[in-house]
Chains A and B, each alone.
Chain A
Amino acid sequence: MMDTSTLLALVQDGVVNGAIYALLALALVLVFAVTRTIFIPVGEIVSFAALTYAGLDGKTTPPVLALTMGLGLVAFLRGAVKARGRALMILALETLGLPATVTAIVMAVVPMQLGIVANAAIAILCVAPLAPLLYRIAFAPLAEASVLVLLIASVGAHLALSGLGLLVFGPEGARGDAFSDAVLEMGPIILPGQAIWVLAATLATMIGLWAFFRFTLAGAALRATAINRRGARLVGIATDQAGLHAFWLAGLIAAVSGVLIAPLTTIYYDGGFLIGLKGFVAAIVGGLVSYPLAALAAIAVGILESFAAFQASAFKEVIVFAGIIPVLLWRSLRHVSVEDEE
């Protein structure tokens, strides 16, 4: 039997992890709704951001910048096959200019040792552009393909990126400094500062996203593309641009999650995959379309995981991932169709 304080600790642990899964679930729902891509490499973005944050020592340039610039070059070459004139200029700016600018800024800022929040920003800045670059390389050329083909491509991108992760970060894990050492005590609940940071940042991101979708034309254009692609094109929204924006947002969200999780646990180059998959479980509960459902499910996954870890630690992952199956089943029972699959 477990006592109340253990119970509370487990729930609290679950909620904190669940908040991070919730962020990832939002990113996944967003990308899927706009581009129909199930963005498996989201996990790599998480671990790369975490490792970059943990590796900032005020001296060395983050090694991930080589990856960002390299992918930028590949994306440029991939896009240059087709683009001409103004489009080529924009492509060059986004794929070559932007990573180079990020590198220059980061190299200038790192030696200043501006503190933990600046480090978090640096890590996010270095890693977030990977998502839109991946979109240009792997997914935009497949925009008309089926969800299944996009998923297989996504798995391929995950494989490649995780191999590159090993090359860039090496096999050792790392753990980042906590944002705050403060501890908040509320009766039986003891909240460490990092947990508060995670919850606050999650909440802020969600509110920010909501405001973006609700109040800006760019946000409305993304929603419109998700709801009806043809309708979006008919009002003049370029759907590949919308896809790029969705991947940008997803990259930012995933990088933020990575930085948040870095102080909570030791992260390895391939550790993000499992974290990302848990975000998936939640995203799928929401049918890959509903943000609130996905966020709630993410919290549930976090709590399930924390109890599973306590009761049967060896089978923690089995329990969490086998847990997705009934959810998938429930989803597909709810939407019965005999549509032809291609």
Chain B
Amino acid sequence: MKPLHWLALAALAVLLPWLPGLPLFWVSLACQIGISAIIATGLVVLTGVAGMTSFAQASLMGIGAYATAVLSTNYGLSPWLGLPAALMASLVVALAMGAVTLRLSGHYLALGTIAWSVSLYYLYANLDILGRNDGISGIPPLSIAGWRLIDIRASAVVIGLGLVGAMLTTRHLLDSRWGRAMRALRGGAVAAASVGVELGQARMLAFVYAAVLAGFAGWLFAHLQRAVNPTPFGLVAGIQYLLMAVVGGAAHLPGALLGAILVVLVNNALQDWLPHLVGPGVNAETVVFGLALVLMLQAAPTGLWPLLARKSKPRHHDVTAAALPRTLMPAQGGVALQAINLQRRFGGLVAVADLSFTLYQGELLGLIGPNGAGKSTSFNLLSGVTQPNHGRVELGGRDMTGSSPQDMARCGIARSFQHAKLVQSLTVIENVALGTHLRGAASPVAAVLRRDRAEEARIFAEAAIQLERCGLADLADASATELALGQQRIVEIARALAAGPSVLLLDEPAAGLRHAEKQALAALLRQLRAEGMAILLVEHDMEFVMSLADRLVVMDFGTVIAEGRPQDVRRNPAVIEAYLGGVA
């Protein structure tokens, strides 16, 4: 959406509530929808984008609501001062919760949020300062220059503007280097780590951002209702917000609003009609919502928005800016990467028994061997994904044993993966831009405030250059999922190059490529080698690797069985035996 569209939305939020003849009840429903949609927007970032599920958003909303309620009643502070307090309180609580919870993976995290939700609920219901089960009443309404916004239509304007603001900042955040990092958490975490993304930071960012939006919604809620009690901040409410995101389509920003509208309206209709059907005193809407959630997951796991909306046009990026400054390549012929007696066991299985070799700057070294020889494990050892049981990894003479993939990336290693790990929700060029993560500096706050545009332009110019080099310039705006597997591997090379490395580890880059594509890839690798890049190549296509490599290291049973020039290696009896097998 263009800035003009956002302005139009804001104008709509200001004007719509005053439409003559609009029943006030509808306005109050709209207020509910707006507040819910803000929380659901946070869930889009947390669940849809970053792949983490939280049942605790209602409880985090309570933090914001209680913060402003206590300050404006007990201490008589202006509700406007309650806003930073509410945001701050939810931020601090989220940081604390995140610090102990976010290391959890997948369903453990979701269970953790259930535990938080139940704990916070009982805390709200039992703390004297929060009014225990009765809560806090007599909260003042918002006021502007002495005008108290008691009219629900005035509140609707504030809430509407708040929602537009929340969606705008979310859009900004998602379109930044941090947005790419968060998207990578879903399905591309290992790849993101290999270009230096600190996964923990990205997870925390998503969690805190969603919590702050929930706190913001809580602040709006407290001054709209002018009373708070624990009920709307319990687990059931938390489930409802998640339902909104799932129904609308958790991966899509408009889905949050769509989901909020549907759930609030259906809830309202159910509360009107169900008592007539099943008698009073029965909260049958929970039955309907529970079933709806289950059925949604079975019938439309991606939510309604993708079904309703046309397939959105891929984001297009301007690539005319100056690219990022080039990184300096170490001197040709110097020692780049050294493996010294590396060993790695998995349980009783020895994947790598003893691996030693040296890779020089400006050299292309082929690592070959039959299936199961330990090549992929070796790659993981060299790039910090797996730690060796024995032995050392040295990079430019520096001992890097035990370093994380992020540290390896910082020191100039970049790699591709045997099973291409592209982020499916990003376009091709955005996947390549993810590679520049360490070369950018914009903070999440800068991203939200749109202060990162100049840097972003340079990042995309850089990504475009690398794509061009790899021959995929015309696919820049395609979705990563549309590519053939062979092309996905090439995008991985472009992503690795975008990190500005001096050592490149490539895991079967030629697999799945057609003949002409292989030749183009070979030309690219020769050019990189001429520039001084150190390249380690695992490859099964013998013709490809034999014609390209300066030297070969042949592995079998986790050890090096031969090493030398390609023409010598292919005559080596041990190598022939390893590949074709002995006759039983």
Residue ranges of A at the interface with B (Cβ–Cβ < 8 Å): 38, 137-138, 141-142, 145-149, 151-153, 155-164, 166-167, 170-171, 274, 277, 280-281, 284, 314-315, 317-318, 321-322, 324-326, 328-329, 331-333, 337-342
Contacts and interface: CB of A to CB of B under 8 A. Distances in A.
A153 B295 CA distance: 8
Interface stretch (B184-192, B316-324, B342-350): B184-192
Given A163-B290, A277-B118, 8 more contacts: A145-B301, A152-B293, A156-B291, A167-B282, A284-B111, A315-B123, A317-B122, A338-B199
B294 A138 contact: yes
Interface magnitude class on chain B: 35 or more
Contact of B107 (A148, A166, A325): A148
B185 A166 contact: no
B108 interface: yes
Nearest to A283: B111
A149 B283 contact: no
B242 interface: yes
26 contacts: A145-B297, A146-B106, A152-B110, A153-B293, A153-B297, A156-B289, A159-B286, A160-B287, A160-B288, A160-B291, A163-B282, A166-B282, A317-B122, A318-B126, A321-B115, A322-B119, A325-B112, A329-B104, A338-B190, A338-B385, A339-B105, A339-B189, A340-B186, A340-B190, A341-B185, A341-B187
Contacts of B112: 324-325, 328
Given A160-B287, A317-B119, A328-B104, A277 B114 contact: yes
B362 interface: no
B107 A151 contact: yes
A148 B53 contact: yes
A331 B301 CA distance: 29
A340 B103 contact: no
A331 B297 contact: no
Interface string B289-319: 1111110011001000000000000000000
A142 B105 contact: no
A328 B111 contact: yes
Contacts of B122: 315, 317-318, 321
Contacts of A155: 55, 239, 242, 290, 293
The 7 A-B residue pairs with the shortest CB-CB distance, nearest first, are: A160-B290, A156-B293, A159-B290, A163-B287, A163-B286, A314-B126, A324-B115
A170 B280 CA distance: 11
A167 B287 contact: yes
Interface string B547-560: 00000000000000
A170 B115 CA distance: 27
Interface in B165-208: 185-190, 193, 199
A148 B118 contact: no
Contacts of B118: 274, 277, 317, 321
Contacts, number: 161
B386 to A, nearest CB: 10
A114 B552 CA distance: 83
Contacts of B284: 163, 167
B485 interface: no
B116 interface: yes
B101 interface: yes
B189 A142 contact: no
B573 interface: no
Contacts of A170: 281
A138 B295 CA distance: 8
B104 A315 contact: no
Contacts of B119: 317-318, 321-322
A48 to B, nearest CB: 14
Contacts of B123: 315, 318
Interface string B89-121: 000000000001101111110111011101100
Nearest to B278: A167
Contacts of A162: 286, 290
Contacts of A329: 100-101, 103-104
Nearest to A287: B108
Interface string B252-292: 00000000000000000000000000100111111111111
Given A159-B286, A332-B103, A332-B104, A340 B294 contact: no
A336 to B, nearest CB: 9
B55 A156 contact: no
B421 A328 contact: no
A328 B110 CA distance: 11
Most buried by A among B107, B126, B292: B107
